[in-house]
Amino acid sequence: MKDVKKKRIVVTGPTSGIGKEIATQLGAFGANLVLGCRDIERGKRAAEEISKNISNKSIIDVMYLDCSSTQSICEFSKQYKKQFSNLDVLVNNAGVNRAEQPREDSVDGIELTFATNVLGYYLLTRELLDMLKAANRSRIVNVASTFASDLDLDDVQFKRRPYDGMKAYAQSKACDRLITWAFARRLEKSGVIANAMAPGLVPNSNLFGKMSPETRNMLKKRGGVDFAQAADTAVWLASDTETEHINGNFFEQRKEIACEFRNIKDEEKLWEICEGMINKNLPNV
């Protein structure tokens, strides 16, 4: 049974692929959506397409959000609180995969994959946490991955290691899990739950769009899932009454799976890394 009719849900990275499918399915269940988009025009087109694909009268708002920028995340949160009085679900989905591309830093001078995929999740959740706590049985869903490895919390920006875009992505997905567990522990008995999920391999996702044709073909030969299947577990965690009391777990295809990175010491170390980056770039926050 779904539990999101008329509830307000923020989805990041909703203009294509998994994020767009998550938003579409939640809208079909009657949720009111806020699409956090780096490209407002694409966001508006996505909102129109989502509206056409659902039969109810869900309200869809589009707001500017660049998850690689600490300033943009704080401004989004500020404007959200001015415009809306509630938040029931936050779906952190926006991400980048810079496989086979050179290193690039964010506007804050942070390696772009970490800035978007990890610090973006952390800061947006932190900035909206008061609204989530004020809601009744609110939820955080972090889109992670089973493709996770190369975790080095002493070198999260690849300043010591040779930069490798695929390794940076794999590390960021491990970090997404660690951040989820850290939030989940802090939110126990708060009425807010936080879980992570793996969408599975989606060869047609934009995350793989800048890979070489050879790499893309190799991934396609391994099989995979379509966007609807990839979004399903995130939608289930965000909306189903079956999951309303689950906190701090990792799922794929609606089944809990073990996380080899679950380690309180590492979770707290990553938390401190994120806090340090935020304090450096937003000293007045």
List 80, 121, 122, 169, catalytic entry: 169
Q: Is 169 one of the catalytic residues?
A: yes
Check: CB of residue 108 under 8 Å from CB of residue 69. yes
- C-alpha 140/C-alpha 196 separation (Å) is 8
* Angle, helix 165-186 to helix 120-134, in steps of 10 degrees: 20
- C-alpha 279/C-alpha 22 separation (Å) is 32
Burial of 150 (0-12, 13-18, 19+ CB in 10 A): middle
- C-alpha 231/C-alpha 225 separation (Å) is 10
Partners of 36 in beta bridges: 12, 63
Helices assigned H by DSSP within 148-223: 165-186, 213-221
**DSSP 8-state code for residue 107:** T
Amino acid at 264: I
Catalytic residues: 169
